[in-house]
Each structure stands twice: as C-alpha cells, then as structure tokens.
Structure 1
Amino acid sequence: MFKTIDFEVQDHVARIVLNRPDAGNAFNSDLARELAEAAMACDLDPAIKAVLLSARGKIFCAGGDLRAFAGFGDEATPRVKQLADDLHKAISIFARMDAPLIVAVNGSAAGAGFSLVIAGDIVIAADNAKFTMAYTAVGLSPDGSSTWYLPRLIGLRRAQELAFTNRTLSAAEALDWGLATRVVPVADLEDAARAMCHQLAAGPRAAQATVKRLLLCSPGNGLEAQMEIEGRAIARAAGTPDGIEGVQAFAAGRTPVFE
C-alpha cells in the first residue's frame, strides 16, 4: 500500500506514477522510500518486462520538497541524507533490474526530478516538458546520480553549464542534447509511452537485461575487457530459449515470439 505513488502491473508492464501533484510531485521522505520499494518490487518480479514511470498533474517532479526540508531544523543533515539514500536505492535498482525503465515526462523536471529522468533507459518527453538541475539555485548540490549520468550523456562542458547555471532546457533542446529519446505532443504522451512499454515487453527479457548491464559497465572497462564481457554474454544468449527462438524465427522469415 503506497501513499505517494500509484503502482500496478498489467500485461508484463509495471507502472509507477508519482502521486503528489499538489506538491509538484516533490520528493519527501515518503516518496523517496516508496519509490525504492516499488523499484524493488519491479526487480524481484520475473514477469515484469518493462517499467513505466510517470507523474500525476502538470509537473513531473519539482525535485526535493523544500518546504519539508525547511521544517527539518537541526536534523536537516541526517534527514536529507536518509532521503537521498532512499532515492539512490531506487535509482540503483532501476539501473540494475532486468526490465528497461521508460520515463514519460510531462511539465517540469527539476532537481531530483531531473536526475530521475536521465537515469531512465528511454525518455519520452511531452513537448511542454522542461528540464533544469536547480540545485545550486537553493544552495544545494546535485544528487540522484546526475553527476554520473550527465557527463556521459552530454559531455563535461554541457554538464557543467547545467549544474552551475541552472539553465532550463526545453523538450526540443533536451532531445537535441541527448537527454530525451523522443518528444511527442503532450496529448500523445500517454499513448506513446504505453506503446513503447508494450513493444519492449514483447521483446527478449534476458537480452534486454544484458543490454542494460553492458552499457552500465562499459565506462569502467577497457576495450578488450568490454569485448570479452560481450563475447561471453552473446554466447550465453545464443543458448537461451529466446536466443534460439530469435535465430530460428529469422531463418524462417517469421516474427519471433519471446517468452
């Protein structure tokens, strides 16, 4: 039972909806903890083949709940650390779970909301979406994995610009910079995100999980080390039911049906 998110699983697709619209879906302690719990549920369910993350209301996520932070008083340091730990647990699970994470972004994604978006495997943005780091504007530093993902996605110089100046990117700019996968009219966001989820859910779960692991470990490996990991992975995949089905379907000129 969740208070700050909606969670459901249907047709091998898990849907997580941030549900604090009156607070701009900003992260308080409950939302961070419940997001980690939902991520764990997705990770542990072998029937889930895609995860869709979206938000209720006109704002995707305004970042940390600064009104809540203001009430922490002398407990600000430990309480913000606990919140960050729960958010980081969620993002770590999302990165390492087998199912790809599709993020559907409506309205503004700021601070931790921005960080959460760029941790997705596929990001579909409505044409009204806006992206800003916003941390230093309120005297804080980035969290939510943004300082890991950003330089890898857009390069150090652009990451520095966003982090220091809090520049706001439009949906079109985010697409041009490589932060979004696709931009669609706001009225089409739900349908586009669901279509992507169902497309991936029809794919080979183990092979898609391997794609995630290969891309995640790539920055820390040299060329030969990465190729050895790739070689072992594709050899294992060739002997799985999905690998056998995919090859046989190609040879027969038919569409594969994966488990």
Structure 2
Amino acid sequence: MTAVSSTEPVLVRAEHDGPITTVTLSNPERANALTYGAMQQFIEGLRAAHSNRSLLLIIRAEGDDFTVGRDQKEKVPGVTKAQSLGLILEANALLRGFPGISVSVIRGRALGFGSGISVQSDLSIAADTATLGFDEVRHGLAPLVVAEYLPPLIGPRATADLIYTGRDVSASEALAIGLVSRVVPEADLEAEARGLCDSLVAGEPGALRLMKSYSARLRAGGIADPQAAAVAELDAWLSAGRPEFPDVPENPAAR
C-alpha cells in the first residue's frame, strides 16, 4: 500500500491498494472541517484515483464525524473567495467524473460539502446515527453550487427544503430522499462498508466501468438514442472480449 504525498500538515490521506484508492479525511480534532489546504489535499487524492485508474474510490473519515464541511471562518492570505470556492467545483468535477465506482462511508455529521460528497458518490453507506444537511444558509452563505447540482439528484422540492432551511437531516430521511444509498446500524458500518467494497472488487471491472460511463452520459444528456446506444455499446464491449477498460465516449459531465 502506498500513500500519496501531500503537503504538511496531512489533513487528508490517499492510499492505493491494488484496484482501490481510499481517501481519508484525517483531522478529527476539528470534526474534519475542510480548510483550503484540506481541500487541496482532497483534490490531490481524487486526482490520484484517476491517474491510478482505480476501480474503486472509497471516501471515509477518521473520528466521530465525516466532516462538518468547509471551514467557514478561515481566511487564507493571498487567496480570494472565488479561488477558495473554485476548489469545490474542481472536487465535484473529479468526484462525478471518476470512471470507476465511488463509495462514501458516512459516520456522524456530514454537513455542507460533506453531504455533497455523499450525494455525488455513486454509492453512499451511512450509519443510522449519521446527520446530513446543507447548512450553508445557517452560516450566512448562499449555496449556489449546491442549487445547481442537487436538483437532478434528489429533485427540486427536496433541494429547496434543504438549501433554504439549512436543516439537519437524519440518516433515515437522507435515505428516503436520496442523499445516501444505504443505512446500517452504526456498530456494523465498517463491516458493511468492507462487504460492499469487496463485492464490487469481486465483480467484472469492465462491466462496472461501462455501466458507470453509460449512466453518467445518460444523466448528462449525452446519449441521443439511449436504447440503441445501450445495445451497441454492450455488443462492442462483449465483442472486444470484455476489456477491463472499455472504449467509451467521453462523459460530458466530466469536462
């Protein structure tokens, strides 16, 4: 297992183990609040998952909380608000554009950008005691980036309720509206997450990557005739001998 080098202090670790890249938020003393430096390290970890052509990207955290989101009080000398906010766009694009399967493992609070990670991952498994929500408005901020990407994922009405109120959401409600894909007892979270990841790695890697690409392009409106494309792409992949890295068109959402 090798770690991705990062600047000090290490607030986010990225490790590679065969087909898996694990990105770990590692500042539990501050509830994994994401500073400007932590966001840069998080982006570095996502880039590493891309460059290593990993099949699986696991995003998890040390401590009692996944993350309370961006550090709203931080002021970095020489860095404008636009530059700081731009890191969110870069991280979102790398997460959504990851060509393998992304899995977030949620414990405790996953607020603001933390909920963004959860909902933009392909799969998100949460403890039944987890709390999610987009709380930016409670900090005096307007979550315009969230307002852009969230409606296609959970619907405009649920989005409006979350971003206008900034309220906390229980794990059970997060599952009902689509912020997470599974909820398990907190004591079973690690075992359930390992089982999920093991089952994915044991599958056909080319099939997973092909399904990911097709689904992403379909959501982005990049397939004119979905049924014809599904047949043609599946036939091409099977005829090519089920390659691990299918030859697929570019995903517009990953640009």
Tell me the TM-score normalised to structure 1 length: 0.83
Match of 2:157 in 1: 157
Q: Percent identical across equivalent pairs? A: 26
Match of 2:63 in 1: 57
CA-atom RMSD in angstroms:
2.2
Match of 1:113 in 2: 114
Tell me the TM-score normalised to structure 2 length: 0.84
Unaligned runs of 5+ in 2: 245-255
Match of 2:201 in 1: 201
Find the structure with the greater CA-based Rg.
Answer: 1
1:25 is displaced (CA, Å) by 1.0
1:18 aligns with 2:25: yes
Name the CA distance, whole Å, in 2 between partners of 1:87 and 1:228: 36
Matches within 5 A, 1:111-150: 111-142=112-143, 146-150=146-150
Unaligned runs of 5+ in 1: 245-259
1:229 is displaced (CA, Å) by 3.2
Match of 2:252 in 1: none
Match of 1:93 in 2: 94
Match of 2:43 in 1: 36
Matches within 5 A, 1:63-82: 63-68=69-74, 71-72=75-76, 78-82=79-83
1:44 is displaced (CA, Å) by 1.4
Once the two structures are superposed, what CA deviation does each residue of 1:232-256 show, in whole Å capped at 9, x if it has no partner? 3212221233379xxxxxxxxxxxx
Match of 2:250 in 1: none
Conserved 8 A contact 2:100-2:208: yes
SS at match of 2:99: coil
Name the CA distance, whole Å, in 1 between partners of 2:222 and 2:52: 33
Name the CA distance, whole Å, in 2 between partners of 1:142 and 1:23: 22
Name the CA distance, whole Å, in 2 between partners of 1:123 and 1:161: 21
Report the residue type matching 1:163 in the other structure.
Answer: I
Once the two structures are superposed, what CA deviation does each residue of 1:209-236 show, in whole Å capped at 9, x if it has no partner? 2222222222343885333432332122
Name the CA distance, whole Å, in 2 between partners of 1:140 and 1:228: 44
More helix by share: 1
